[in-house]
Amino acid sequence: MEQLTLFDSNIYPKSKLNNLIMNQEELIQWKLKISNYQEFYRRNKSKQETLFNLPQTTWYNSDDIDPFILKTFPADFYQYPELSDPNNNGYLYFILDKYLPLILYIGETKLTAKKRWLGVHDCKSYLMKYIGLNRQYKLPVHQCAVFFYDLPPEKKLLRQWETDLIYKWKPPFNKESWQYWGQPFTK
């Protein structure tokens, strides 16, 4: 028997790696748990405390944003110039599976989302694996992106909104939510 080194990146046989993928029932239950949590939160809009007491500089706060009612765009929005930020001020974006519905990822940007998404972005990889596993089991999936453009002018407040929304909705592709849902679609 050959001894493996601590630094060998391929310490698991291929058959063992395949067993780490969710089976159909596990995937369905995983999606339903997240969807049920998000739907419960959506129906019971209690004001969530923020991590910091930041001033509200617009007529909105992060708790007013409902991603499920925003206009949908293709999940590969970064490939379409016509879908860019109309005011060039940046935006909050949400990657959804509208079939359940389910918020998969929340991000913010000030002028860099398209550049960032055109390159390497972990969420693109998670989304491709998610779609692939759903299709493997012939489960319906409808991935899309939605945008919220009416942002506060201060980057600090925008980042706080993003953080508040992530802790509110607990989207599974954001690392802050992995403790709740696991990391089935990471590298």
pLDDT on residue 149: 83
Instruction: DSSP for the chain, please give it.
Output: -PPPPTT-S--S-HHHHHTTS--HHHHHHHHHHHHHHHHHHHHS-PPPPPSS-PPP-SS--GGG--GGGSPEEETTGGG-GGGS-TTSS-EEEEEEETTTTEEEEEEEESS-HHHHHHS--HHHHHHHHHHHHHHHTT----EEEEEE----S-HHHHHHHHHHHHHHH--TTSGGGHHHH--TT--
- Per-chain mean pLDDT for the chain: 78
Higher local confidence (pLDDT), 5 or 58: 58
pLDDT, one tens digit per residue, over 132-148 is 999 999 999 999 999 88
Higher local confidence (pLDDT), 178 or 17: 178
pLDDT at 6 > cutoff 80 = no
Predicted model pTM = 0.78
Domain ranges of the chain: 69-187
pLDDT, one tens digit per residue, over 70-121 is 999 888 877 776 665 556 667 888 999 999 999 999 988 765 555 656 666 7
